[in-house]
Structure 1
Amino acid sequence: MHIHILGICGTFMGGVAALAREAGHRVTGCDAGVYPPMSDQLRALGIELIEGYTPDQLELKPDLFVIGNVVSRGNPLMEAILNAGLPYTSGPQWLSENVLRGRHVLAVAGTHGKTTTTSMLTWILEHAGLQPGFLVGGVPQNFGVSARLGDLDEARRPASGHPFVIEADEYDTAFFDKRSKFVHYQARTAVLNNLEFDHADIFADLAAIETQFHHLVRTVPGQGRLVVNAREDSLQHVLDRGCWSDVVRFGVRGDVPGFRARGEPHAFDVLKAAVLVGRVEWSLMGEHNQMNALAAIAAAEHVGVSPLVACEALSQFANVKRRLELLGEVKGITVYDDFAHHPTAIRTTVDGLRRRISPDQRIIAVFEPRSNTMKLGTMKALLPWSLEEADLSFCHSGGLGWDAAEALAPMGDRAVVVDNIDTLVAKLVKVVKPGDQILCMSNGGFGGIHGKLLKALADA
């Protein structure tokens, strides 16, 4: 079958493309913006990428168009597909029908930490010899790819009952299906990692997101497991609406049932109630990663992996690309890349780096409010709070419909707002000094700022 994917370079749709290619289908795709790491991964798989959504792509004559949620009515290719009456479906629906059916799906949901927790859980199952399939909204460095089918039968079809780990996004499915993606996955194990307000472009308030999370809870069978963050009131609100599955909590306090950590985020014991069940020692920092680890351990237990084995696996976990990823060091100045874009994630990332470096080193946060929620300005008032631990902050304000300088005014001269990437790099190079830690944060390609910055530092 020939599948043509619209919006192929998004992390989710790129994963769908990789799975379809591995399953033996011919895959092509298009997108408005093609940037690494997904573009590199897709080209390495032999997938032809087309820039833009031109109607002449109908001439490819695919058997099916798979539509990403970045596509809306008015898109010229989508309009041509509709006018011609050609077959199309959404990415989550295609995945459900062609990859997930009959498998033990472990779905990781939450406002923050989905990609990292999904990667941890996948690595635990791999370490335990289960050969899981997976689709992650990033590139786990233990695997080097964002998706694979996992264990296959003799006909190279996904093996029935074998685990498939998926990052379960609450964002909508497609312009013609406004349900959250995760309701399509039919999870037997569902991680509810945390829940805050996000996606202001499609959700009116936190209660609206809680409703979608409860739709996920409704799909988990009675023999399934919900792995729930014990510290989140919003998740308890979700469960209060009805729950039909076993619930295992993580992040509990004291000797109550559930999983908790004892020790520092980089080296800690894992306890189930009062019983020591394993220990994790790794290079990751921050309490958020400690919590992610507990969630992954509790989920892996549901498919027969002991917490002891899970802890052994996590001690070999190599994190995910674009999660405080070291890109280079030039003249004593270190440059990192991170996917953080929600204010809470920005604060957590900056705090994690602060804990890693010495007190005399400066953190220079370079970020763009690129997500739909941030572009709307819904959380602009939280930006000074999110950047408290940074010594200097540079905001790329290009394309915003609100005044970033006004939002960052409480930071005084610790914040610089620039609407052009090249100008931002030039200003940055003038103020950095040896020992500085430059943290670039965006959920997109950020205009290639990372390469431009490293070159400018080398040339300075």
Structure 2
Amino acid sequence: MKGPILFLGIGGSGMSSLAHMALDLNLSVLGYDKKNSETTAFLAERGAIIENDISQIPLEGIEMVVYSSAINDKHKQVFAEIKEKNIPLKHRSEFMHLLVSNQKSISVAGSHGKTSTTTMVSQILTEVGMDPTIMIGGDTSLLEKRGGKIGGGEFAVYESDESDGTFLKHKASIRLLTNIDNDHLDYYKTRERLEDAFFEYMAFGTEGVAVLYAHDPGIRDVLLHKTKEVSFSPNFRLYLCMEEPETKSEWYQRLKSKLGDQLTQVTYQIKDDNLLFDFPGFGSLSLHLPYPGVHYLTNGLVAVVGAYASGVSPKVSAEILSRYIGVKRRQEGLGDWKGITVMDDYGHHPTEIAMVIRSLQNKLKSKGRLVVLFQPHRYTRTQLLLEDLAKSLGIAEILFLLPIYSAGETPIPGITHESFIPFLKKENTQILEGVIEKDLVSIKSKLEPGDMLLCLGAGNVRDWGLRLLET
């Protein structure tokens, strides 16, 4: 390829990562995004030409168009014109696989923890000098404000997004899976179809390695119900991260009898913010991370095992992760305002919300209150998971609710941020308008020195926190 390559929705986390990778290859990059951001500004600094009006981008001479599932029916005319001109049209997952086709690959999938785990594996391989190609669905200082880069090493490490099923169009040589939870049911429709997709991702009948966090209830259900008749390739290896009692379970005994030496169990326990694990051949090891939360530790264990499959000692990996650099919008500190710590987190699913709230409450202990400013993400997700979302949010001491961030979806009648009210304690909850200056008046009235304000959600909720810090 020589380019130019046109990226539709170039400001999105996954699309911007791919655009950076294309720039690394000295390809000419054009982009469309309806709004400007730090992400699009940085791409422009590197040489991308970006327009907010898609009609301003000439299609003549473009070698390929890359799009994401966020580009929807509103852009039918553009797609029709692209097809009329016979310009190759690739989904972002297809384009990514073109970029990594000459390397061995490590993919990371899961309902939660994909970005963090991908970053962990990438940091390990980078620090040991393996120079991997990296594609992460988020900003990390590992890559200097971007989520993707082309490396010259043997491996490519990438986040594998299940949201639209496209993660099944490839089979990485090393496949990591963190968990399975009820998300993206607007696409899959049923839990069974979601589990079928993750089971296919595990690819037991192929060559390569699968690393599963087998303490996760969703993964355990799949192993129990879907591995009874499966045939395993003689060149397949399975690593299971699990607690010791789980070795007595039916699904584990079945896998052990079928796989024998092809199966390796990595057992662990968590004590005082440390994950102690037994890795066959290496004895007992310890993992500690700079970020609080059991989910970070278990994601770290999956990353350590995945890195081992690529040739890195688990002892070396654990030492590297003691310096884990983190990802933007994952428990990211934005600053302090009059004795209040302002945090930002991307959590938008009930499980993620509960994990981050509990992690930060544990960090605060009794020093102050956790005040949560939550912005629901997508009408469909809110409708499908309303009660579960409310249950997770209900553990916050004080809760402010912003209007739903649509992410391009058409509103659903009767589904708003006020839909949460019947499931929450009214004395702890306040509905906001979605106008930053007005909302901050209400938020400030509740804050006290020592509190922590958590801006929570996958939309632009961090803007409220950033504006607070400016006042």
- For normalisation by structure 1, the TM-score amounts to 0.88
Answer yes or no: is the 8 Å Cα contact 2:59–2:82 preserved in 1: no
Deviates more, 1:84-93 or 1:13-22: 84-93
Alignment partner of 2:159 out of 167, 180, 196: 167
Name the amino acid aligned to 2:119.
Answer: S
CA spacing shift, 1:378–1:300, aligned 2, 3 Å? same
Name the amino acid aligned to 1:21.
Answer: L
Give the equivalent residue in structure 1 for 2:446.
431
Answer yes or no: is the 8 Å Cα contact 2:243–2:269 preserved in 1: no
How far did 1:390 drift? Answer: 1.3
Alignment partner of 2:215 out of 231, 238, 247: 231
Give the distance between the partners of 1:115 and 1:266, measured in 2 at CA: 21
Deviations 1:294-326 (A, max 9, x none): 100111111111110111110111111111100
Deviates more, 1:261-270 or 1:377-386: 261-270
Give the distance between the partners of 1:225 and 1:378, measured in 2 at CA: 34
Alignment partner of 1:390 out of 392, 396, 399: 396
Give the distance between the partners of 2:325 and 2:311, measured in 1 at CA: 23
Identity %: 24
Matched, 1:78 2:62: no
Answer yes or no: is the 8 Å Cα contact 1:251–1:294 preserved in 2: no
Deviates more, 1:388-397 or 1:228-237: 228-237
Give the equivalent residue in structure 2 for 1:408.
421
Answer yes or no: is the 8 Å Cα contact 1:271–1:278 preserved in 2: yes
Report 1:45-444 matches (<5 A).
45-54=46-55, 56-59=56-59, 61-75=61-75, 76-97=77-98, 99-144=99-144, 145-151=146-152, 162-172=154-164, 180-218=165-203, 221-222=206-207, 224-239=208-223, 240-241=226-227, 242=230, 243-244=232-233, 245-254=236-245, 256=247, 257-264=264-271, 266-272=273-279, 276-371=283-378, 373-375=380-382, 377-398=383-404, 401=412, 402-409=415-422, 410-422=424-436, 423-444=438-459
How far did 1:167 drift? Answer: 0.6
SS in 2 for 1:146: strand
Give the distance between the partners of 2:44 and 2:441, measured in 1 at CA: 32
Give the distance between the partners of 2:204 and 2:289, measured in 1 at CA: 35
How far did 1:255 drift? Answer: 9.1
Name the amino acid aligned to 2:430.
Answer: V
How far did 1:84 drift? Answer: 3.8
How far did 1:280 drift? Answer: 2.3
Give the distance between the partners of 2:59 and 2:312, measured in 1 at CA: 49
How far did 1:271 drift? Answer: 1.7
Answer yes or no: is the 8 Å Cα contact 2:287–2:297 preserved in 1: no
CA spacing shift, 1:238–1:58, aligned 2, 3 Å? farther
How far did 1:425 drift? Answer: 1.9
5+ residue gaps, structure 2? 248-263
How far did 1:432 drift? Answer: 1.1
Give the distance between the partners of 1:51 and 1:134, measured in 2 at CA: 27
Name the amino acid aligned to 2:467.
Answer: K
CA spacing shift, 1:81–1:262, aligned 2, 3 Å? same
Give the equivalent residue in structure 2 for 1:13.
15
Give the distance between the partners of 1:342 and 1:324, measured in 2 at CA: 15
Name the amino acid aligned to 1:232.
Answer: D
Give the equivalent residue in structure 1 for 2:25.
23
Give the distance between the partners of 1:28 and 1:88, measured in 2 at CA: 14
How far did 1:288 drift? Answer: 0.6
- For normalisation by structure 2, the TM-score amounts to 0.86
Name the amino acid aligned to 2:159.
Answer: E
Answer yes or no: is the 8 Å Cα contact 2:290–2:323 preserved in 1: no
Q: Over aligned residues, Cα RMSD in angstroms?
A: 2.3
Answer yes or no: is the 8 Å Cα contact 2:289–2:321 preserved in 1: yes
Give the distance between the partners of 2:326 and 2:462, measured in 1 at CA: 24
Give the equivalent residue in structure 1 for 2:260.
none
Name the amino acid aligned to 2:399.
Answer: S
Name the amino acid aligned to 1:246.
Answer: R
Name the amino acid aligned to 2:160.
Answer: A
Give the distance between the partners of 2:182 and 2:201, measured in 1 at CA: 17
How far did 1:365 drift? Answer: 0.5
Structure with the larger helix share: 2
SS in 1 for 2:31: strand
How far did 1:436 drift? Answer: 1.2
Give the distance between the partners of 2:462 and 2:177, measured in 1 at CA: 33
